[in-house]
A = this chain, B = another copy of it.
Amino acid sequence: MVRVNMGNVVWEMADVPKEYERLGGRGLTSTFVAREVNPLCHPLGANNKLVIAPGILTGTTAPCTVRISVGAKSPLTGGIKESNCSGIAGQKLARLGLAAVVLEGKPKTENLHVIHISKEGVTIHCMDELKGKGNYEVAAALKKKYGNHVGVVSIGPAGEMLMSAATIAMTDQDGLPVRQAARGGMGAVMGSKGVKAIVIDDTGAPRTVSAASGEAFKKTVKGFATAIAQRPRVKEGLAKYGTARLIAFANEVNALPTRNFSSGQFEGVGRISGEALADIIDARGGKRGHACYPGCVVRCSNVYMDKEGKYLTAALEYETIGMLGSNCGIDDLDIIATLDHLCDDYGLDTIELGGSIGVAMEAGVLSFSDGSRAIELLHEIGKGTPLGRILGNGVAITGKVFGVTRVPAIKRQGMPAWDPRTAMATGLTVMTSPQGADHTAGRVPGIREFDFFKPGTTAPLSLGMQLRVCVMDTVGLCMFADGTPESTEWLVKLLSAFYNQEVSSDDLVELGKRIFETERNFNLAAGISRVEDRLPEFMTMEPLPPTKSLFTVTQDEIDETFSSLKYQKIKLSETEGEHLI
């Protein structure tokens, strides 16, 4: 692993300590942060450390193993944070044989640096000319300088200005900085280290990370890839409409955040659904079924063109449309795509920003549905005006500054686009995850076998999924590779072949528990107790219109499940996936 101390602007190549062996991704970043970062340190100070680590299988030929995790103490939540994304950086780092890149210390100057990592080692360049530049310009400039083949990991102005909603952008296979480790303000931590970008050049590195048992691995890879590609959810859903296909579904079941979580259904849903998105993309010559990294079998990404048929943004996704769209009362995909583009460029989390703007709308700073004013506000964030800084610091801060009581945040992180009053199991994940309000920590799709309204069912399901996701995020496997009853078996086979040593599904559960507990313990030491595993008060007081749904899992069930870690094993079934919540 590479450790870069930005206090003295020096780096060293260090062995991976024993404690991090057989870890990657979230497992590595969270273990690292728990071991090396004082839970009471200031997230933007000298004692926080930013860890960037590809998953265990990232860089291998295994399908959908592309994720790269970024970890640190979060300036947004004040707790431990892991935020992962795809793009090409993870694979390149893994191919270079690097388990992690660590940024530590506090710069003594105001200079902005670019770190170049290749087979030859590390060089650190002062590049003040990139100050204030957006991620698109940064990626283009660095590709021009270092070659089109490099992976770029960068921050926009939001990260430089240390805003808690700042992301870290990573380039995709088109070289665009549209894959973002978005949640929890990791971009601000990178900014606090005086690092604008990390360039990863894997020239001369092996083309793939190889497994200990090559043949068995190859065979498993092939079988798993076929299984994923043939699933109707992938073939008919993700590859055609991307994640946006869930907009209509979420609306139908009353879970689509609308006007700052004041309704679960949006009258403009027809204009922002996956189908509407597909029509626009097709009409303007955009792309659907786009892969975010070379060779992906799921291909959930897309490329969105503007009215003139010019590139506007890539991967307009469910969460972005839900949070910057319906949650702000905005039903115009061109506006939502523009907001998405600005978020990517300034380096801002679209979920957090959708929440911030929704709360600002609730406060009367602008009206619900006022898309042009929302675009202006994004530019204010880019400029760092006081109003821009408020919004760029996220939902909870925006609520606090404007004295709003309806603030959709848990552990100071803005809630994703699944209203927990309907999506109760996912809601429970959002409530209880050590990561703060985060659906990717364990979104629980509807499963026919389980009646979510039966007492004792929902909490163990949420926990089961959270432990599962801890493992996926450690392996580097995309969540869309999951979702069949056989997923766990495939993963067990892959890891066994990778290590050439038997790994059982029980081992995986133990790994998941270890990571989950490591994160919870860090939070406890940082002052975040289980008392914060709660919905915002307004959601407990307001049944969600129009169906008046209300979160009904009892506090006893939650407490019992999450103190004992008694989880429900999840056998995901394919077809029911989207029909129940």
Give the interface of A toward B (CB within 8 A). 39-42, 44-47, 75, 161-164, 188, 192, 385-387, 389-390, 393, 397, 400-403, 405, 407, 524-529, 531-532, 534, 536-538, 541
B403 and A47: CB pair below 8 A? no
Nearest 8 A/B pairs, CB to CB: A162-B403, A386-B387, A527-B531, A386-B386, A45-B405, A42-B405, A42-B537, A389-B401
B41 and A188: CB pair below 8 A? no
23 A-B pairs (CB sep. < 8 Å): A40-B531, A40-B537, A42-B405, A42-B407, A42-B537, A42-B538, A44-B405, A45-B405, A46-B541, A47-B537, A161-B403, A162-B402, A192-B403, A192-B405, A386-B386, A386-B390, A389-B401, A390-B390, A390-B401, A397-B397, A397-B400, A524-B531, A527-B532
Complex: A192 Cα to B402 Cα, angstroms:
12
Complex: A192 Cα to B529 Cα, angstroms:
28
Complex: A33 Cα to B164 Cα, angstroms:
33
- Chain B residues lying within 8 Å of A75, measured Cβ to Cβ, are 400, 403
Complex: A548 Cα to B95 Cα, angstroms:
49
Complex: A22 Cα to B45 Cα, angstroms:
48
Task: Report the minimal beta-carbon distance from A131 to chain B, rounded to whole angstroms.
Answer: 15
- Chain B residues lying within 8 Å of A39, measured Cβ to Cβ, are 531
A41 and B401: CB pair below 8 A? no
Given A386-B387, A526-B531, A527-B531, answer yes or no on A403-B163 (Cβ-Cβ < 8 Å).
yes
- Chain B residues lying within 8 Å of A387, measured Cβ to Cβ, are 386
Determine which residue in A41, A400, A528, A534 has the highest number of CB atoms from chain B within 10 A of its CB, and name it. Answer: A400
Complex: A397 Cα to B389 Cα, angstroms:
11
- Chain B residues lying within 8 Å of A192, measured Cβ to Cβ, are 403, 405
Complex: A400 Cα to B395 Cα, angstroms:
13
Complex: A386 Cα to B46 Cα, angstroms:
30
With A527-B528, A527-B532 known, 18 other A-B pairs at CB within 8 A are A40-B534, A42-B405, A42-B536, A44-B403, A44-B405, A45-B405, A45-B537, A75-B400, A192-B403, A386-B386, A386-B387, A386-B401, A389-B402, A390-B401, A393-B401, A397-B397, A524-B531, A529-B529
Chain B residue nearest to A39 (CB atoms) is B531
- Chain B residues lying within 8 Å of A163, measured Cβ to Cβ, are 403
Complex: A188 Cα to B536 Cα, angstroms:
19
Chain B residue nearest to A540 (CB atoms) is B40
- Chain B residues lying within 8 Å of A524, measured Cβ to Cβ, are 531
Complex: A46 Cα to B531 Cα, angstroms:
20
- Chain B residues lying within 8 Å of A526, measured Cβ to Cβ, are 531
Tell me which of B41, B385, B541 contacts A537 (CB under 8 A): B41
A400 and B393: CB pair below 8 A? yes
- Chain B residues lying within 8 Å of A386, measured Cβ to Cβ, are 385-387, 390, 401
- Chain B residues lying within 8 Å of A45, measured Cβ to Cβ, are 405, 537-538
Complex: A161 Cα to B402 Cα, angstroms:
8
Complex: A365 Cα to B536 Cα, angstroms:
33
Task: Report the minimal beta-carbon distance from A82 to chain B, rounded to whole angstroms.
Answer: 21
Complex: A7 Cα to B407 Cα, angstroms:
21
- Chain B residues lying within 8 Å of A401, measured Cβ to Cβ, are 386, 389-390, 393, 397, 401
- Chain B residues lying within 8 Å of A390, measured Cβ to Cβ, are 386, 389-390, 401
Complex: A541 Cα to B46 Cα, angstroms:
10
A400 and B164: CB pair below 8 A? yes
Chain B residue nearest to A530 (CB atoms) is B527
Chain B residue nearest to A535 (CB atoms) is B40
Chain B residue nearest to A392 (CB atoms) is B401
Chain B residue nearest to A45 (CB atoms) is B405
Chain B residue nearest to A43 (CB atoms) is B405
Complex: A40 Cα to B541 Cα, angstroms:
13
- Chain B residues lying within 8 Å of A164, measured Cβ to Cβ, are 400
- Chain B residues lying within 8 Å of A389, measured Cβ to Cβ, are 390, 401-402
- Chain B residues lying within 8 Å of A44, measured Cβ to Cβ, are 403, 405
Complex: A525 Cα to B541 Cα, angstroms:
19
Task: Report the minimal beta-carbon distance from A393 to chain B, rounded to whole angstroms.
Answer: 5
Complex: A397 Cα to B526 Cα, angstroms:
18
Task: Report the minimal beta-carbon distance from A554 to chain B, rounded to whole angstroms.
Answer: 15
- Chain B residues lying within 8 Å of A527, measured Cβ to Cβ, are 528-529, 531-532
Complex: A208 Cα to B527 Cα, angstroms:
47
Complex: A403 Cα to B42 Cα, angstroms:
10
Complex: A551 Cα to B58 Cα, angstroms:
47
Complex: A164 Cα to B401 Cα, angstroms:
8
Complex: A390 Cα to B389 Cα, angstroms:
10
- Chain B residues lying within 8 Å of A529, measured Cβ to Cβ, are 527, 529
Complex: A190 Cα to B161 Cα, angstroms:
35
Complex: A541 Cα to B41 Cα, angstroms:
11
Complex: A407 Cα to B528 Cα, angstroms:
19
Complex: A537 Cα to B46 Cα, angstroms:
10
- Chain B residues lying within 8 Å of A162, measured Cβ to Cβ, are 402-403
